[in-house]
Amino acid sequence: MKKQSSMSKLFEYAGNYRYLTITSWLLSGISALIALVPFYYIWRIIKEVLEVAPDFEEAKNLSTYGWCAVGFAVLAMFIYVCALMCSHIAAFRVQANMRIQMMTHIMKLPMGFMDKEGSGKIRRIVNDSSAATESYLAHQLPDEVGAMVTPIGLLVLLLVFDWKLGLLSLIPMVIAFCVMGMMTGSEMKRKMTEYQNALEEMSNEAVEYVRGIPVVKTFGQSIFSFKRFKDSIDKYGKWSMEYTKDLRLPMVLYTTAINSTFAILTVAALVVTKDGITNEFLLNLIFYIIITPIITVMLNKIMFSSKNAMLVEDALDRIKEIMDMEPLKESKKAKSPAGYSVAVKDISFTYKDAEKKAMNHVSLDIKQGDHVAFVGPSGGGKTTLASLMARFFDVDEGSILIGGIDVRDIAEKELVDTVSFVFQDSKLLKMSIFDNVRLGKPDATREEVEKALKDAQCEDIINKFPDGIDTIIGSKGVYVSGGEAQRLSIARAMLKNAPILVLDEATAFADPDNEVRVQEAFRCLSKDKTVIMIAHRLSTVVDADCIYVLKDGKVEEQGNHGELLEKNGVYAHMWNEYNKSIDWKVGA
């Protein structure tokens, strides 16, 4: 199957605005040709000056020629501005359509998509890749058309007045084109892909690093705890140095070639004029010295446009990767759960590109209204299991039932309304506290929001701001602490009032005062709900109806706190280590 060209892909996003893009090309080409006309009048000025020299008062047409040159130059600029106006309107529409389509598609992808790909990577593709296409369509493509049309008119000018000098002027152009081919071929395309990969990885790791700063502060770790971020910077730096060294020689040759026209013309002049010089040769020599710098400008535009075309192709490939990702399949005959129990039936699940199963034949039953906990070593599968229950991903084998209905047969909206998550890292948007909380129930009244905030122990947060619940978070220096943000997210979950609640390390980094308030909010939030807690802090799960110990993607043990201690297995060992860590902190 023939690969679709970058331009046809861009035109798909442009819609009817593609005609503005085509118009910009035509206008840019016309502008490039008209821009050469002033050089003809410059030649006429030089010719008349040489003919009347030294009696320059006899030059009667200099003013006319000069104004003609200015007029055509202004006309070329005007047409070029019109070309840019057309290209910018089309480019902005392409960028907007591209982002709208990407975000619309991302909204349809499973919730686990962002965690798997990394928000830094996705943000960069949505913002930077679409911005690359905007710059290309708005500026670089019209310039590229002008740069390709210019040689046609330039070739005529170079060969009409003195074809020998014209051919000599073309020698550097041929050499430069050959060197350019060395720098802009398939190897350059591969390098551009590596460059974008390095930037993408560094952007993603930077986001993860910033998000992990609370962990650094909590556990007193140094920057070297974030080895992946440092490695991504080192990798990018190493790549940049190697790439620069690879292009050092070709770039020197290219720069020398495009700037050597004057030297070639000078040598030609010395050879031709050794026995004397004619006015005609002097006229043409001066004219060629004036016009040949256009060759340098033109070749530079062509070279950079080739690089930019590769960047755009790479950007479109990255956008296509997102657009090709399949949303989770919706059942044609959606069913509603008969209750809010959760049954996990022999499920297995493997993350994309992972060699080891994240879930390996796991089965468990959670009755409606039970409060259960998932504990175990890091990487054991706690968050993965909870995510599968909410259908952030689909299981590879087995099934997960809510109220006796497979989650794959429950309509997406109903499943979202059924299962509510409170994450360790709460997200607040730059909007009022009222609007942030109402995200849990968009049609909620002000009274409902205020009650949810009260039940979530958020009254002290509201009272410290003059604008109360209408305070805009993130503006004019208005921010909340991690524990306060957690309570606001709990208020959002209370307003949503989903019957199944998943608490994923929700108090991991709360300070003591906030933790007391958060725990009180949880007690209110958890009333009459099926609750699944994911915790490392074992003191928060001792009252759970059932504790599931997950290790290496399997349920290693299950039972209540007392039963698990009697087994003297993984949980008992974890409990002893947890108590030792508390004693150590107190002793320290």
pLDDT in tens, 70-123: 999 999 999 999 999 999 999 899 888 888 888 888 888 777 666 666 666 777
How many other C-beta atoms are found inside a 10 Å radius of the C-beta of residue 272?
A: 15
Is residue 121 within 8 Å of residue 3, measured between CB atoms?
A: no
- Whether pLDDT at 383 is above 50: yes
Instruction: Give the rounded percent of residues in the chain with a pLDDT score beyond 90.
Output: 13
Neighbouring residues of 78: CB distance < 8 A, sequence distance ≥ 6: none
Task: Quote the pLDDT of residue 586.
Answer: 43
Reported as a single tens digit per residue, the pLDDT across 137-178 is 888 788 888 877 877 777 777 777 777 777 777 777 777 777
Query: How would you classify the pairing of strands 397-402 and 405-406?
Result: antiparallel
First and final C-alpha spacing in the chain: 68
CA distance 460 to 467: 13
Q: Which of 20, 52, 224 is nearest to 138 (CA)?
A: 20
Q: Mean pLDDT over residues 173-188, rounded? A: 71
Most confident of 236-240, 268-272, 379-383, 394-398: 394-398
In the chain, helix, strand, coil percent, each to 5? 65, 10, 25
If you average pLDDT over each of 207-216, 288-297, 299-308, 374-383, which comes out highest? 374-383
Segment 50-54 mean pLDDT: 76
Give the residue-averaged pLDDT of 185-191.
66
- Position with higher pLDDT, 154 vs 403: 403
In whole angstroms, give the CA distance from residue 146 to residue 156: 16
Q: Name the CATH code of domain 342-587 (choices 3.30.2420.10, 3.20.20.70, 3.40.50.300, 3.40.50.1010).
A: 3.40.50.300
Mean pLDDT confidence for 417-434: 82
User: Does residue 508 have a pLDDT over 60?
Assistant: no
**What's the average model confidence in pLDDT over 529-537?**
84
pLDDT at 220 over 60: no
Phi, psi of 441 (to 5 degrees): -155, 90
Has residue 397 got a pLDDT over 60? yes
Angle in degrees, CA 215, 218, 222, rounded to 5 = 65
Name the residue ranges covered by the structural domains of the chain: 8-322, 342-587
Partners of residue 454 on adjacent β-strands: none
8-322, CATH topology level: ABC transporter transmembrane region fold (1.20.1560)
- SS3 label, residue 274: helix
pLDDT for position 512: 58
Compute the Cα dihedral for 183, 187, 189, 195 and give only its sign. Answer: negative
pLDDT at 212 over 70: no
Which among 195, 214, 111, 129 is positioned nearest to 421, based on CA atoms?
111
Q: What is the pLDDT of residue 27?
A: 94
Confidence at residue 587, expressed as pLDDT on a 0 to 100 scale: 44
Tokens of 496: 């949503």
Query: If you average pLDDT over residues 251-274, what whole number do you get?
Result: 75
Q: Which 3 state secondary structure label does DSSP give 420?
A: strand
Mean pLDDT, the chain, as a whole number? 80
Q: Say if residue 222 is exposed, middle or buried (CB neighbours under 10 Å; 0-12, 13-18, 19+).
A: exposed
The Cα-based distances of 303 to 133, 158, 256, 426 in angstroms read 17, 22, 15, 47
Considering only the C-alpha atoms of the chain, give the largest distance between any 2 of them, rounded to a whole number of Å.
Answer: 117
